[in-house]
Amino acid sequence: MAKRSPKKPIARRRGRPRVHREAWTKVSVVMFERQVLELDRLTTAIRTRTGAHLTRAEVIRALLDALTESRLDVTAVPSGAQLKRLLVQKLS
């Protein structure tokens, strides 16, 4: 009779649980302090109002996906400042 090896416990992953359903890449982006503070203010307001814990990254990904899905042609915009003006105009 073959000896059975003891069951090994399932190894738990460290950190947050994986929630992404598609391939992803970690990217470092330099942001102004005021932008980080605004992301924090926004995520805190969402958590206070809804109980949902959105991360800074989720907000940034949602904004980029919304821009992509809007089909707004931004290919002729020569600067970040002009891109911002165009987006504010379209969102207002």
More confident residue, 13 or 63: 63
Q: What is the pTM of this model?
A: 0.74
Instruction: Give the type of residue at 67.
Output: L
Mean per-residue pLDDT over the chain, rounded = 88
According to the model, what pLDDT value does residue 15 have?
66
Separate counts of helices (H) and strands (E) for the chain: 3, 0
86 with 77: CB under 8 angstroms? yes
Residues 23-39, mean pLDDT to the nearest whole number: 95
56 with 36: CB under 8 angstroms? yes
CA dist list (Å): 20 to 41, 45, 57, 76? 24, 24, 12, 32
89: its two tokens: 């105009």
pLDDT over threshold 90, residue 17: no
